[in-house]
Chain A
Amino acid sequence: MSSTSVSLPRAGGPLLAYLHRGAEPSIETAFAGSLLTSLALEVERAGFDLLVLDDEPRVEGAAPRVRLDPFTAASFIATRTRHLGLAVTADAAYYEPFNLARLTASLDHITHGRAALNLVHDPARAAAVNFGVRDRAAPADPGRHAREFLHVVRALWDSWEDDAFLRDKASGRFVDGAKIHAIAHRGEHFQVQGPLNVARPPQGQLPLVHVERSPASRPWAAAEADVVVVAAGDEGGVREAGQALRALAVREGRAANSPRVLAPIVPWVADTPDEARRLRARVAARPDAVAAIGTPDEIAATLQAWVARGLADGFAVLPAPEAGQWPRFAEQVVPALARCGPIGPAAAGFAPTLRGRLGLARPANRHASLAQPVNG
Chain B
Amino acid sequence: MSQAIRRLHLGLMFWATGTHAAGWRLPDAREDAAFDIEFLQHVTQVAERARFDFLFLGDRLATDPRLQRTNPAQMSRLEPFTTAASLAAATSRIGIVVTANPTYYDPYSVARLMGSLDHVSAGRASWNIVTGADDIAAANFSRTEHWETGKRYDWADEFVDVVKALWDGAPSVEAPAGVPLDHDGRHFRIAGPLDVPRLPQRHAVILHAGTSDRSRELGAREADVIFAGQPDIPSAQAYYADIKQRAARYGRGEDEIAILPGLTPIVAPTTEEAVAIYDRLNAFLPLDPEEAAGEVRKGGLGRGRRRNLSALSETLGVDVRGNDPGAVVEPALYGQASEAGRRLIDETARRTRRSLTGAARISYRDLIDTAGAMGAIVVGNPEEVADFIQAWFDQRAADGFNIFPAYVPGAVEAFAELVVPVLQRRGLFRLDYEGPTFRDHLGLGLPGSRRDRDQLVRL
Contact = CB atoms under 8 A, between A and B. Distances in A.
Contacts of B104: 96, 98-99
A132 B115 CA distance: 20
Contact of A76 (B106, B120, B140, B142): B120
B68 A132 contact: no
A28 B112 contact: no
A104 B21 CA distance: 28
A193 interface: yes
A186 to B, nearest CB: 10
Contact of A103 (B72, B76, B79): B79
Interface string A65-105: 11111011111111110000000000000111011001101
B173 A193 contact: no
B171 interface: yes
A27 interface: yes
Interface string A325-368: 00000000000000000000000000000000000000000000
Interface in A1-54: 11, 26-28, 30-33, 36-37
A134 interface: yes
Contacts, number: 226
Contacts of A77: 89
A132 B190 CA distance: 6
Interface residues of A, number: 72
Interface size class of chain B, counting residues whose CB lies under 8 Å from the partner chain: 35 or more
B152 interface: no
A153 interface: no
Contacts of B160: none
A76 to B, nearest CB: 4
B426 interface: no
A110 to B, nearest CB: 5
A167 interface: yes
A132 B188 contact: yes
B449 interface: no
Contacts of A67: 195-196
A198 interface: yes
A62 interface: yes
Centre residue among B62, B84, B112, B186 by max chain A CB count within 10 A? B112
Contact of A193 (B106, B115, B140, B172): B140
A197 interface: yes
Given A69-B113, A105-B79, A57 B108 contact: yes
Given A66-B171, A167-B32, A109 B37 contact: yes
Centre residue among B79, B136, B197 by max chain A CB count within 10 A? B79
Centre residue among A56, A106, A180 by max chain B CB count within 10 A? A106
Interface in A156-182: 160, 165, 167, 169, 172-175, 177, 180
A284 interface: no
Nearest to A10: B195
A270 B66 CA distance: 64
Nearest to A36: B120
A175 B65 contact: yes
Interface in B20-77: 22, 24-25, 27, 31-32, 34-35, 37, 41, 60-63, 65-66, 68-69, 72, 75-77
Centre residue among A63, A99, A134, A175 by max chain B CB count within 10 A? A99
Centre residue among B27, B90, B106, B136 by max chain A CB count within 10 A? B106
A58 B106 contact: no
A69 B116 contact: yes
Centre residue among B62, B121, B142 by max chain A CB count within 10 A? B142
B112 A69 contact: yes
B139 A172 contact: no
A216 interface: no
Interface in A113-155: 129-134
Contacts of A73: 85, 116, 120
Contact of A68 (B76, B106, B144, B196): B196
B284 A192 contact: no
A195 interface: yes
Given A96-B104, A198-B35, 6 more contacts: A63-B177, A98-B61, A98-B140, A98-B141, A130-B190, A130-B191
6 shortest interchain CB distances as A-B pairs: A132-B189, A79-B89, A177-B65, A193-B139, A129-B191, A75-B85
